[in-house]
Amino acid sequence: MNRRPVRRRIAVAATATAVLAAGTFALGAGVAGADSQDRGDKYAKPVTKAQVLGLFDRWNAALQTGDPKKVADLYAKDAVLLPTVSNQVRTDRAGIVDYFEHFLQNKPVGTKVESVVDILDRDTVIDTGVYEFALTDHGTGEKSTVKARYTYAYEKQPNGRWLIVNHHSSKMPQG
């Protein structure tokens, strides 16, 4: 019996197994490395619903300063704002500042009526619901309330700060 072909088959099988094992290890290491480097510390504590709800409080407090630039600072550089009382889509800081220059003249004070928080991952969350704004007309002093639907999409930045990347707000439809 010729043992050479059997040894060759064993050698080929052993080599194939070693190559497959090395490739699997390299792939696993690459995926693990991508996960740990891609979005910050993989051992970071997950964000809580209470923390997400607090992001609105931070935004509402910025409104109370009356400074449109402080409000715009809470939006990412490439954020999109679909505002409540404007038909213009705002896609850059200048547009967002412009909107809040006008909106803040009415001294808005926001109150959430209903909130649904979706934590997509440790760096991405969505807060959707209904809020209302108490407004004071800057010319007449007349008070009014605007009820609106909202969606905030937030992303955690590399420095750990949460910024708004998408904000949509629209008046509730008339019934």
What is the tens place of the pLDDT at every residue in 81-120?
999 989 999 999 999 999 999 999 999 999 999 999 999 9
Sheet holding 109-121: strands in order across?
A: 75-82, 162-171, 143-156, 124-136, 109-121
Look up the pTM and report it.
Answer: 0.74
Q: Does 6 have pLDDT greater than 90?
A: no
Spatial CA neighbour of 156 closest among 40, 72, 62, 54: 40
Please, which pLDDT band fits residue 43 given cuts at 50, 70 and 90? low
| Alpha carbons 51 and 57: distance in angstroms, whole number | 10
Domain ranges of the chain: 1-38, 49-171
Q: What residues contact 50, with CB distance under 8 A and at least 6 apart? A: none
The pair of three-digit structure tokens given for residue 156, joined into one six-digit string: 């955690």
Spatial CA neighbour of 157 closest among 127, 126, 123: 123
Lowest mean pLDDT among 2-6, 28-32, 102-106, 154-158: 28-32
pLDDT of 29: 42
pLDDT of 17: 42
For residues 134-148, average pLDDT:
93
Q: What residues contact 16, with CB distance under 8 A and at least 6 apart? A: none
Please, which pLDDT band fits residue 138 given cuts at 50, 70 and 90? confident
pLDDT of 1: 52
User: What integer best gives the mean pLDDT of the chain?
Assistant: 83
Q: Does 174 have pLDDT greater than 50?
A: yes
The class level of CATH for 49-171 reads alpha beta
The pair of three-digit structure tokens given for residue 64, joined into one six-digit string: 């109370």
